[in-house]
Structure 1
Amino acid sequence: MSRKSSALILSAGLALACAGFAATPAAQAAPQVSIGVGVGIGMAPPPPRFERVPPPRAGYVWAPGYWVWSPRMHRHVWMGGRWMRVRPGYRYMPARWQRGPHGRWHFNNGYWAH
Structure 2
Amino acid sequence: MNRLSRVSIAAFALAAGAALTGCVVAPVGPYYGEPVVTAPPPPQVEAVPVAPYPGWLWIGGYWTWQANRHVWVGGHWAAPRPGWRYVPHRWDPGPRGWREAPGRWERR
Instruction: Classify the TM-score, shorter chain.
Output: 0.5 to 0.7
Larger helix percent: 1
For 2:98, the aligned partner's letter is W
Q: CA deviation at 1:76?
A: 0.4
Shift of 1:103: 4.4
Count of residues in Structure 1 that have an aligned counterpart in Structure 2: 80
Matched, 1:69 2:65: yes
Alpha-carbon offset, residue 113 of structure 1 = 2.1
TM-score by length of 2: 0.66
Helix, strand or coil: the match of 2:34?
A: coil
Q: Structure 1 vs Structure 2: percent identity of aligned residues?
A: 43
Where structure 1 has 5 or more consecutive residues not aligned to the other structure, the ranges are 1-7, 14-36
Name which of 70, 73, 79 aligns with 1:79: 73
Instruction: Provide the secondary structure at the position in 2 that maps to 1:51.
Output: coil
**TM-score (normalised: structure 1):** 0.63
State whether structure 2 residue 47 is matched by structure 1 residue 55.
Answer: no
Which structure 2 segments of 5+ residues have no match? Answer: 1-26
2:88 paired with 1:109? no
Q: Residue 84 of structure 1 aligns to which amino acid in structure 2?
A: A
Query: Which has the higher relative contact order, 1 or 2, with Cα contacts under 8 A spaced 6 or more apart?
Result: 1
- Code of the aligned partner of 2:43: P
Q: Distance in 2 between matches of 1:51 and 1:38?
A: 26
